[in-house]
Amino acid sequence: MAMMRVMTFNIRGAPPEDGANIWENRIDLNLQVIKNNAPDLIGFQEAQTENLEVFQNGLKEYVYDSGKKANRPDRILFNAIFWKPEVLTCVASGNFYLSQTPEVWSKDWDSARVRLAHWVKFRRMDSGFEFLHLNTHLDHISHQARVEGSKLILQQLAQLFPDPLPVLLTGDFNSSPEHILDGTGPTPYRIFQDGGLIDTYSVAPSANGRRKNTFHGFEGEKFISEGDGATWRIDWIMVLDRARTLQVKSCQIIRTAAPPIYPSDHYPVIADLEMAD
């Protein structure tokens, strides 16, 4: 068995309106968090060109595939995937938009933004073990868009990869696991669960206690009280592994910060997985 560390991280991009937490002030801390935790594979959300330029210089141990553009014309974002080339090699990659016309730039279901799923099929360098990593960012406004986008991800996985290839799903889902049902039907978390995906955070031993939030709006521990933390655990690492070739060993929310400066308005999440040889 070989170990692999996976990170999901919404890095907030580089908008100019973030006050003390503009990108230029967050660069060193952002890089520090990534380097200190040393993931083998990263799914970023809200990566802008300015972020990717910094990562090219500051994370030379990684290679990456930015994927196609998403969001809106005046603020282009990428669901970029980074990996260590001595651990993984890219076999194939692709993208689809979370809409009724997934092959072209588009949005549906009252989505406020153009949303995208970006995937890379990987092979481990040491064992030849193959798996798929899909990285996404669901809409922050429309519940219907989150629901239909989640359904589309499962449909596309079944069509693109009919063989039982293990799947790692990372992303900012703008939805809480604890709110399983509401008046309009199942949430993304339930949809993915019903599709066979397992939430690494829910099955792994955790030292996080009741502090489950991953979004904090640049306020850190001031954002919410401990009792409300579950509502804001919106960044997940999920696994689809029907052949049981992956084992979840740990999953942690990383709260490294230097207040008032934070690496992002989201905390990154890391999961340690044991993979078959």
Environment class of residue 20 by beta-carbon count within 10 Å: exposed (0-12), middle (13-18) or buried (19+)? Answer: exposed
Domain 2-275, architecture per CATH: 4-Layer Sandwich (3.60)
The average confidence (pLDDT) of the chain is 92
Q: Confidence class of residue 221 from pLDDT cuts 50, 70 and 90?
A: confident
Q: How many residues are there in the chain?
A: 277
Q: Are 216 and 265 in contact (CB under 8 A)?
A: yes
Distance between alpha carbon 82 and the CA centroid of its chain, in Å? 12
Q: Which residues pair with 171 in a beta bridge?
A: 136, 236
Question: For residue 231, is pLDDT > 80?
Answer: no
Least confident piece of the model among 106-110, 122-126, 145-149, 220-224: 220-224
DSSP 8-state secondary structure symbol assigned to residue 229? G
80-123 confidence digits (pLDDT tens): 999 999 999 999 999 999 999 999 999 999 999 999 999 999 99
Q: Are 46 and 15 in contact (CB under 8 A)?
A: no
165-202 confidence digits (pLDDT tens): 999 999 999 998 876 545 557 899 999 999 999 999 99
Question: For residue 229, is pLDDT > 70?
Answer: no
Single out the residue of 35, 34, 1, 43 nearest to residue 168, CA to CA: 43
What pLDDT, on the 0 to 100 scale, is given for residue 164?
82
What pLDDT, on the 0 to 100 scale, is given for residue 210?
59
Question: For residue 42, is pLDDT > 60?
Answer: yes
**CA-to-CA distance for 22 and 48, rounded, in angstroms?**
13
Question: For residue 132, is pLDDT > 80?
Answer: yes
